[in-house]
Amino acid sequence: MTYDPNHVVLSVRDLSVNYRAERGLVRAVSKASFDLHAGETLALIGESGCGKTTLNLALIRQLPKTASIDGNGILYTYRDGRQTDILKFSDRDMRRYLWSECSMVFQGALNSLNPVIRVSDMVYDTAAAHGIGRDEARKRALRLLEQVRLDPERVMRSYPHELSGGMRQRVLLAVSLILRPQVVIMDEPTTAVDILTQRSILDVLKLLREELNFSVIFISHDLAVAAEIADTVATMYAGEIVEIGPVNEVFYRSRHAYTLSLLNAAPRLSVGAEKLESIPGKPPDLIDPPAGCKFHERCAFVTDICRHTPPPLVAYNDGTHLASCYEMERVLAQAQATRKVSPL
Amino acid sequence: MTPVIELRGVNRTFIKDRKPIPVLQDINLGIEENEIICLVGESGCGKTTTGKIISGLLQPSSGEMLFRGRPISSYDRKEQAVIRRQLQLVHQDPFASLNPAHTIGDILGFPLKRHRMVDGISGVRRRIWELLTMVDLTPPGDIVNKYPHQLSGGQRQRVSIARSLTVNPKLIVADEAVSMVDVSIRISLLKMLHELRERLGLTIVFITHDLALAKYFAWEGRIAVMYLGRIVEIGRTQDVIASPAHPYTRALLAAVPEADPDLTRHKQVLRLRSDDIPSLSDIPPGCAFHPRCPFHVPGLCDGVVPALGDGPGFSQQVACLPLQQGIPLVVNQTSTQNAGQHV
Ligand SMILES: Nc1ncnc2c1ncn2[C@@H]1O[C@H](COP(=O)(O)OP(=O)(O)OP(=O)(O)O)[C@@H](O)[C@H]1O
Ligand SMILES: Nc1ncnc2c1ncn2[C@@H]1O[C@H](COP(=O)(O)OP(=O)(O)OP(=O)(O)O)[C@@H](O)[C@H]1O
Ligand SMILES: [Mg+2]
Ligand SMILES: [Mg+2]
């Protein structure tokens, strides 16, 4: 079984996160809503600082103390059909939920692995916290390590520094699956790794996903990686999800000017000579964001209304594709005229 | 034409745990005036080391570097100092290379004064204005009194580039110069480098591990692919990208995802015999890539080290004996058990 659009696992409604900072309130995530379905891979793309990590830390309630979180629910559906609102979780609920229902491979986790703990101990500790004994944990870990194409026995005995970056990333993926969660969040797992290492991480993720059928939220600022593994793509800008839809919709029939601008800035290896355009300016200050559409200062499609009235999210394509852009007609026309190409 | 820079049989070793590690081996590379050449390859293959040798920050352990056809050592001390200034390196992380305690005006002013590039305080000031305008940091008046931390990543990178231009270089080595900035900003930096190249007649050595970026930036230039301290393929970018010859280049290109769902999901797969990159302290005999190469020919590839050379059916230079001898590349039987689809 793969992506099942009739089975929602995680439903996020109007989620906002603010950080208290010296200069004021950082509006890191504003009213984000989306559904994650069984077996679905959702790629979250957007420039540095747009709120990708913050949004996902909120989903597992691991935000720093300076953050406040607000919204109309993060509804999670257990395998047996029970529903719960993560926003109402106690700490104890959260500890039980983490790893067994939803796990996260953190940004930069590659370099933050505890150097004096062997992979096996990492496995046992994680499992023990959820009442799973060593034998069972070991059995599961060996199988998973094999599935991520590592030498299971050797890797179990290893310390992090004995493993290459790509191996460590695969270990983290394997460990995140030990308690058989329905949702795995991966924050930039292929950033700063080599091409062939990235390839093996992507291949392994696809394989595991097929065999174990979990849902994935994949955070990346690399559009190419998103194009390859995502069923659904969400574009974030200045704390908002400005466009979300099936991968082909978002890439070939973009309806938000920001998504199209990102695509127009991304080189493709097998597309001959390309005319690329950068996006002028830089993302806005989240303490004092601009009025209207937050992208308007950098937007090539900007009109008057964009400057003062925030555009609403509008549904297209039978409701599967949402975008908040007044100029979506022109954006769509340009996307359709330019995005689909034939390779070299 | 005589290349601006030529590396001839350059080797470089570093000492690690009291053992010499060959980091570059037999690098032969001529860089033409005003060209764009891109060095690509995985982490640790020697790109930065090559860049440092080209920009004079590091000496070869053996072999030599020629400047306009003459060994650097044949120039006198004064001339060498001038040459050194003409070869500049732009660091990947401007945070690490820009002094946080100095304003942008100071950062650009110091080298101008030190090397007496212009006359007098007003000359320095005018030149700083000119340089900031050149790298699109306008109006310069808003920038000169700022400190590096008050600028965005892209702006800092522009300052780095402006600083390298203070000494009127002929050649710039841009080492991962855009890898730390967001996609949206990258392209404007690359376009700026293109413009500077045209305006100032610069030669650019661009180092990156991002092949799509290399393709975009060096489309009219050349690409050199490095593996374990050697150049394994070099040729016009358009040839290398459209029809890669060396098995390693093919593997790299096949592995790169594309920012296009259909393209990326229908890419041909080339599975290697092993995912693990050998250590520089234990480089395999013969072609260093043969233990991972799906096409390796036993008895040929594990014997002698292949030098760069021509071969039938491709215009680039490749260090691969089967290709040079016109032996068709077929997936070797011993590697088929690992071959698989990734679609
Ligand atoms: N602890 C914090 N206190 C105050 N502001 C913060 C904190 N953490 C993040 N921010 C701010 O919140 C915004 C969103 O940050 P976040 O890390 O979620 O972005 P991101 O999209 O994950 O970026 P990147 O791609 O660089 O990882 C940024 O403006 C950031 O500066
Ligand atoms: N000063 C040094 N002392 C010892 N070893 C070094 C030194 N500088 C580089 N090396 C080693 O030389 C090899 C090549 O390094 P280099 O930095 O040239 O690679 P690179 O291709 O630029 O890699 P990356 O993509 O990671 O920047 C690496 O194994 C590195 O560890
Ligand atoms: Mg992040
Ligand atoms: Mg380097």
Residue B216's Cα: distance from chain center in Å? 14
pLDDT of residue A342: 67
Residue-level length of chain A = 344
pLDDT value for A104: 92
A195 and B42 within 8 Å at the Cβ level: the answer is yes
Find which of A111, A149, A195 to mutate to test the B interface (most B CBs within 10 Å of its CB).
Answer: A195
Least Cα distance to B223 among B7, B27, B29 occurs for: B29
What digits encode the pLDDT tens for the residues A160-174?
888 888 888 889 999
Q: Specify the range with the lowest mean pLDDT, choosing from A69-73, A203-207, B81-85, B175-179.
A: B175-179
The CA angle A8-A13-A15, to the nearest 5 degrees, is 130
Residue A170 three-state SS: helix
Residues B318-342: b if buried by 16+ CB within 10 A, e if exposed: bbbbbbbeeeebebbeebeeeeeeb
Q: How far apart are CA B291 and CA B335, in angstroms?
A: 10
Whether the pLDDT of residue B190 is over 50: the answer is: yes
Rounded CA separation B89/B174 (Å): 6
Kindly tell me the burial class for residue A83, based on how many C-beta atoms sit within 10 Å of its own C-beta (0-12, 13-18, 19 or more): exposed
Chain B partners within 8 Å of A270 (Cβ): 241, 253, 258, 263, 267
- How does pLDDT run across B306-325, given as a tens digit for each residue? 999 999 999 999 999 999 99
Give the H/E segment covering residue B34: none
The count of other CB atoms within 10 Å of the CB of residue A90 is: 8
Number of H helices, E strands in chain B: 12, 12
What local confidence, expressed as pLDDT, does residue A107 receive?
A: 81
pLDDT at site A193: 82
Is the CB–ligand 2 distance for residue B317 below 6 Å? Answer: no
* Whether the CB of B54 sits within 6 Å of ligand 2: no
Going along chain A from its start, the domains and CATH numbers come out as 4-230 (3.40.50.300), 248-338 (no CATH)
- Quick check: A266 and B188 CB within 8 A? no
The pLDDT-based confidence of B340 (bands split at 50, 70, 90) is very low
DSSP for A78-103, written as a single string = -TTS-EEEGGG--HHHHHHHBTTTEE
SS3 content of chain A, % helix, strand, coil (to 5): 35, 25, 40
- For A7-38, letters b (16+ CB in 10 Å) and e give ebbbbbbebbbbbeeeeeebbbbbbbbbbbbb
Contact predicate A242/A295, CB 8 Å? yes
Per-residue pLDDT, A192: 73
Q: Whose CA is nearest to atom 28 of ligand 1?
A: A49
* Extended beta strands in chain A, E state: 4-21, 24-38, 41-45, 67-70, 74-77, 83-85, 102-105, 183-187, 215-219, 232-237, 240-246, 314-316, 321-323
Bridge-based pairing state of the strands B230-236 and A74-77: unpaired
Q: What is the DSSP letter of B276?
A: P
* Chain A stretch 128-147, residues whose beta carbon is closer than 8 A to a beta carbon of chain B: none
ipTM: 0.91
Q: What is the pLDDT of residue A1?
A: 52
Q: Which long-range contacts (CB under 8 A, 24 or more apart) does A308-315 make?
A: A313/A33, A313/A241
Length of chain B: 343
Extract long-range pairs of A63-66: CB within 8 Å, 24+ residues apart: A63/A17, A64/A19, A66/A19, A66/A20, A66/A21
Residue A341 backbone phi and psi in degrees, to 5: -135, 165
Residues 6+ apart with CB under 8 A from B94: B148, B153, B156, B157, B159, B160, B180
For ligand 1, whether the C-beta of A170 sits within 6 Å is: no
Amino acid at A148: V
Please state, in angstroms and rounded to a whole number, the distance separating the CA atoms of residues B261 and A250.
10
Mean pLDDT value across residues B172-193: 85
Distance, CA of A255 to CA of A331 (rounded, Å): 6
CB burial of residue A44 (10 Å; 0-12, 13-18, 19+): buried
Supply the pTM of this predicted model.
Answer: 0.92
Gap from CA of B280 to ligand 3 centroid (Å): 33
Segment B6-30 shows an average pLDDT of 95
**B338 — pLDDT class (breaks 50, 70, 90):** very low
The pLDDT score that the predictor gives to residue B343 is 26
Extended strands (E) in A188-310: 215-219, 232-237, 240-246
Q: Strand locations in A172-320, DSSP E?
A: 183-187, 215-219, 232-237, 240-246, 314-316
Give yes or no for a contact between A173 and A106, defined as CB atoms under 8 angstroms apart.
no
Distance of CA B28 to the CA centre of its chain: 14
Low-confidence ranges of chain A (pLDDT < 50): none
Position B262, amino acid: D
What contacts A330, CB < 8 A, 6 or more positions away? A301
CA distance B3 to B324: 25
Distance from C-alpha of A337 to C-alpha of B291, rounded to nearest angstrom: 45
Tokens 């978002």 -> residue:
A250
Mean of the pLDDT values across residues B250-268? Answer: 95
Which ligand has its closest atom nearest to the C-alpha of A22?
1
**CA of residue B48 to ligand 2 center, whole Å:** 7
pLDDT in tens, B290-302: 999 999 999 999 9
* Residue pair A82/A96 in contact by the 8 Å Cβ criterion: no
Whether cis (ω within 30° of 0) applies to the bond prior to A280 is: no
In angstroms, the separation between the Cα of residue B174 and the nearest Cα of chain A is: 18
Residues 6+ apart with CB under 8 A from B43: A194, B209
Nearest ligand, CA B40: 2
Nearest by CB to residue B212, choosing from A206, A267, A279, is: A267
Ligand 1 proximity of A237 Cβ (cutoff 6 Å): no
Q: What is the mean pLDDT of residues B121-140?
A: 92
Residues B284, B278 contacting (CB under 8 angstroms): yes
Q: Ligand 1 atom 30: the closest Cα is on which residue?
A: A49
Decide whether any atom of ligand 2 lies within 6 Å of the B47 Cβ: yes
Q: How far is A72 from chain B, CA to nearest CA, in Å?
A: 32
User: Where is average pLDDT lowest: A56-70, A233-247, B133-147, B229-243?
Assistant: B133-147
Residues 6+ apart with CB under 8 A from B47: B39, B40, B41, B175, B207, B209, B226
Question: What single DSSP character describes residue A272?
Answer: -
pLDDT of B337: 39
Helical segments of chain B, H only: 47-54, 77-86, 94-97, 104-114, 120-134, 153-165, 183-200, 211-217, 237-242, 247-255, 261-265, 321-324
Q: What does the pLDDT read at residue B227?
A: 97
Whether chain A has a CB inside 8 Å of the CB on B338: the answer is no
B265 CA to centre of own chain: 29
Closest residue by Cα to residue A102 from A15, A5, A193, A183 = A183
Rounded-to-integer distance, Cα A103 and Cα A217, Å: 10
Confidence of residue B342 (pLDDT cuts 50, 70, 90): very low
pLDDT of residue A67: 97
Q: Which residues of B touch A164 (CB under 8 A)?
A: 276-277
pLDDT at B339 over 70: no
Q: How far is CA B224 from CA A166, B231, B300, B319, in A?
A: 24, 6, 24, 11
User: Domains, chain B, ranges and CATH?
Assistant: 5-231 (3.40.50.300), 243-342 (no CATH)
Residue B228 in this model has a pLDDT that exceeds 80: yes
A280 Cβ partners below 8 Å, 6+ apart?
A298, B188
pLDDT band at residue B181 under the 50/70/90 scheme:
confident
Tens of pLDDT along A77-117? 999 999 999 999 999 999 999 999 999 998 877 777 788 89
The number of beta carbons lying within 10 Å of the beta carbon of residue A215 is 25
Ligand 1 atom closest to residue A221's alpha carbon, by position in its atom list: 25
